[in-house]
Amino acid sequence: MTACCNTTIQPGHDTILTASGPSISNLSWYPSGTCLNASCDSVKVQPIVTTTYTVTGTDTLGCQVQKTLTVIVGIAGINDISGNDFVSVYPNPSAYEFTVDLATKAMVKVCDVTGRLIFSKMENAGTITFGKELSPGIYFLYVDGKPGVKVVKL
């Protein structure tokens, strides 16, 4: 099953999330959205805060399959969405490893340029390093914590 798409929306706007796959049935979304057709493979959502949606379906073998999508609510772009400096990333750019300093506990996610989630982890305030496991390319770091959300192009 595939699900599309991680996105950023302006406050008060909505977006469409979709799920598809050969012979996938019984689709359900959490949190729920407004189903746009009988199979509920497309839903309209209008979150008021950044929200991660999980779509669950059943394949032909009766196994459950899940995918997650994140809708960021804020100013579209790769700059600091909230205008807060609760996170710093260095060196950026880097060919090997990134260091992230967090001033507060935050959900840290890294996505590739297509929006595919590479990793996601709740981190405490402090310093974390990552990047050795990444293939060369463009990535986005999403940090969601108090006082807001920050998106950094890596």
Neighbouring C-beta atoms of residue 3, cutoff 10 Å = 23
- Which parts of the chain are beta strand (E)? 2-4, 7-9, 15-20, 25-30, 34-35, 42-45, 51-58, 64-73, 87-90, 98-102, 106-112, 117-123, 126-130, 139-145, 148-153
Residues 27-52, mean pLDDT to the nearest whole number:
90
> Domains along the chain?
2-73 (2.60.40.10), 87-153 (2.60.40.3080)
**138 has a pLDDT exceeding 90:** no
Residues 52-59, mean pLDDT to the nearest whole number:
91
Q: What is the mean pLDDT of the chain?
A: 83
**43 has a pLDDT exceeding 90:** yes
pLDDT of 82 reads: 43
pLDDT of 56 reads: 93
Residues 48-71, mean pLDDT to the nearest whole number:
89
**74 has a pLDDT exceeding 80:** no
pLDDT of 75 reads: 57
**79 has a pLDDT exceeding 50:** no
Residues 101-109, mean pLDDT to the nearest whole number:
86
**131 has a pLDDT exceeding 80:** yes
